Chain A
Amino acid sequence: MSATETAMKRVAYYKGCLASLSAKELDSSTQALAPMVGIELVELESVTCCGAGDIHEAEPDYYLHLNARILAYAEATGCETLMTVCNVCTLNLRQANFMLQGDAALLGRVNENLETVGVPTYSGGVEVRHFLWEIAEGEGYEKLKDVAHRGLKGLKVAPFYGCQILRPSKIMGFEDPDRPWSLERIIQACGGEAIDYPAKVKCCGFPIIAAREETALGEMIQPIEQALEAGADVMVTPCPLCHLSLDAWQQKLEASTGRAFQLPILHLAQLVGVAAGLEEAELKFKRHIVDPRPALERLEV
């Protein structure tokens, strides 16, 4: 049975800032892949940035209200799930959601404010889930196994989780933050070989890359160096911020160390997309700084 013949799961799709601009390839590959794994994306029209960690730090009350507004518009679609494709959006939205669901007085105050500016109120009925979780288990995983028939044929893939999809685990709660398994499971289902290395759960340095570049590069080198030592052909990450630092800033790491890493970094939807036979028009590898195509062309398909 093909994926489209069974019921599709409707989710409100929050793409966030990066997938709207510098990581458009994440949006196009997610849009193309989602129906193949049984997910119907309902795009949100009137949403803003979640504020990253930045509005949470600069004006935390505003952070809460911006995220409540996103949750309210997601609820208004009638979907039970708000699907994210970015670690930072996932943490921000899940955190705000738990704050509102666990404190009736706070929810009341926020709703009053939302109403004042003309936003629908939020009842607390949405669950925020990352695309990774949707395809790592359950129905999504079963369909993934069906569509990933083109296979990655022994491609050595380094899973890189990043931080804010694992920690704080009380807010994430999907898997053991020290022994995660979801990316490995997906890599294997696509016919790839998941390689293991300690820095896969550590920070890529992105949040401070503009303000503390040297410190950020000192963090970023760990996953890149360790993945290459373990024999990785490519790296995959569920977070477009990790992607941006690991891909775009890799040239700065090369300049500062005098070494040539040239490790291609794939978005999760691109890696599965390759296995599912998506084309360059959707994968848009030309938008990467380190071109993954030479590594992928070696695949015998």
Chain B
Amino acid sequence: MQVGLKIWRYDSATGDRALREYEIEAPEEATLLDCLDIVKERHDGSLAYRKSCRMMICGSCGMRMDGAAVLACKTRMYDIAEEGRVPVISAMGNLPIVKDLVVDMDPFWAKFKSTQPWLQPGYERPDDGREYRISQERMNVIHKEALCINCGCCVSECNAMESDPEFLGPQALAKGMRFVGDPRDGATVERLERYNQEHGIWDCTRCYFCNERCPKGVDPRDAIAKLGAESIRLGIDRDMGAKHAKWFVRSAETTGWLREEELIPKTQGYVAAIKQLKFGASLARHGKVRPIPFPHTANDVDEARNLRKLVREQDRDGALGIVQGERALGRLEHGHKDESLEEIYERPGAAPRPWLPEVEEEASA
């Protein structure tokens, strides 16, 4: 098939920048990475890009296609070529460009390293000399985070990092959650204290670009929410972001609706909020806030209050509360939300059923 590509060429040594167009002949099964190889081998040997495994596991070939971060080796070109589209290929965002499609990953690795992405053992070995075993339920908490291949596609599009370049970012925090949620790790509180600092989890602006772009289904935004939930569960809630989040809970159980007018002082503290009085007055002039807030209470709010009391007794607080929906949402992602697992594996040509301990236990029970 004929594939057209427009590639942003850049040389940081000279500052030269140009959009070059290439027209190549590629096999129908070609990925974007295959196409770049063809460009480099047959058309222009000076093109620079990173690659290694070619099978979506090394994380080297993150780049942008039409402005969206992708793994080049995961991106099939057939449909695009059929449509006659000529996509624009450029380097990932939020990282300095070295040459063409190659970015400087040093800031990425520095943030990653600062989260101490290794196990700091803090568990007692069982007396019987056998290995330390973790329940499936506990592993579910970090299953997705463990899939991260450090490609940087999430970081490329992070809106908060564009505005605050020091933000630890979705990749580093997702890996942080991988260890916070590991029951063998002994540094949970120290980690959470670190991730709760100025450029940590409460910098996340919830734009969900990271979930959208991650080629491995890690869902970094959900990992950051898990870190927030674990922080609040353990009483690490000094950051304004944590106070902001807790005010929504307080509002829901007292009046049902968000007590909007008290949100700024409850987040920033009453002393700091005095600086906002002029701003508040401008909102009051237009009826956005009322000079004296009075409760605006939802009907049957006692139900919402009792619901909170009830669920807090059921041991699904913190990250466990988030992962209980992951299986359902995962099925949604793979386009079979109306099918059960049984039905999926019984489909003609379905992949063989993987070994699942819980299935075996159910069968033998």
Contact = CB atoms under 8 A, between A and B. Distances in A.
Interface in B32-76: 66-68
B332 A170 contact: yes
B287 A24 contact: yes
Contacts of A56: 225, 322
Contact of A212 (B202, B299, B304, B328): B202
A49 B251 contact: yes
A57 B268 contact: no
Contact of A63 (B202, B206, B321): B321
Contacts of B331: 102
Contacts, number: 253
B329 A208 contact: no
A271 interface: no
Interface stretch (A33-41, A74-82, A133-141, A215-223): A215-223
B257 A219 contact: no
Given A218-B163, A251-B279, A98 B322 contact: no
Contacts of B283: 22, 248, 289
Nearest to A53: B206
B160 A215 contact: yes
B286 A208 contact: no
Contacts of B268: 210-211
A106 B279 contact: no
Given A54-B244, A58-B229, A48 B252 contact: yes
Interface stretch (B117-125, B305-313, B353-361): B305-313
Interface string A100-122: 11110010000001101111000
B321 A60 contact: yes
Given A51-B248, A102-B331, A18 B203 contact: no
A169 interface: yes
A279 interface: no
> Which of A57, A212, A215 has the largest number of chain B CB atoms within 10 A?
A57
A244 B258 CA distance: 15
A117 B310 contact: yes
A211 B267 contact: yes
A60 B310 contact: no
B328 A98 contact: yes
Query: Which interface class (under 10, 10 to 19, 20 to 34, 35 or more) fits A?
Result: 35 or more
A60 B229 contact: yes
Interface residues of B, number: 83
Contacts of A101: 328, 337
Interface in A176-221: 177-178, 198, 202-203, 205, 207-208, 210-212, 214-219
B159 A202 contact: yes
A187 B330 CA distance: 35
A66 B225 CA distance: 17
A163 interface: yes
A46 B321 contact: no
A100 B329 CA distance: 10
Contact of A205 (B163, B219, B298): B163
Contacts of B243: 211
Interface of A, secondary structure class, is helix
A153 interface: no
Contacts of B205: 203, 205, 207-208, 215-216, 219
Contacts of A24: 287
A293 interface: no
A139 B62 CA distance: 42
Interface string A48-72: 1101111111111111111001000
A98 B248 contact: no
Interface string B310-322: 1110101111111
A61 B317 contact: yes
A207 B301 CA distance: 25
A59 B212 contact: no
Contacts of A114: 307
A47 B298 contact: yes
Interface string B230-270: 00100000011111111111011000111010011001100
A4 interface: no
B296 A169 contact: no
Contact of A61 (B206, B302, B303, B321): B321
A46 B299 contact: yes
Contact of A202 (B68, B207, B304, B321): B207
Given A163-B207, A208-B203, A55 B325 contact: no
B162 interface: yes
A102 B327 contact: yes
A55 B339 CA distance: 30
A55 B252 contact: yes
A164 to B, nearest CB: 7
Contacts of B10: none
A163 B251 CA distance: 24
16 contacts: A48-B304, A56-B225, A59-B249, A59-B311, A61-B316, A101-B328, A102-B337, A114-B307, A163-B207, A167-B211, A169-B212, A207-B204, A208-B160, A212-B164, A219-B205, A248-B282
Q: Closest 8 interchain pairs by CB?
A: A102-B328, A218-B163, A60-B321, A99-B325, A61-B321, A48-B256, A167-B208, A54-B248
Given A46-B300, A164-B208, 19 more contacts: A58-B249, A59-B317, A59-B321, A62-B312, A64-B324, A95-B325, A99-B328, A101-B337, A102-B328, A103-B327, A113-B311, A114-B307, A118-B306, A163-B159, A164-B206, A208-B203, A208-B241, A214-B163, A215-B167
Interface of B: 66-68, 159-160, 162-164, 167, 202-209, 211-212, 219, 225, 228-229, 232, 239-249, 251-252, 256-258, 260, 263-264, 267-268, 279, 282-283, 286-289, 296, 298-304, 306-308, 310-312, 314, 316-322, 324-325, 327-329, 331-333, 337
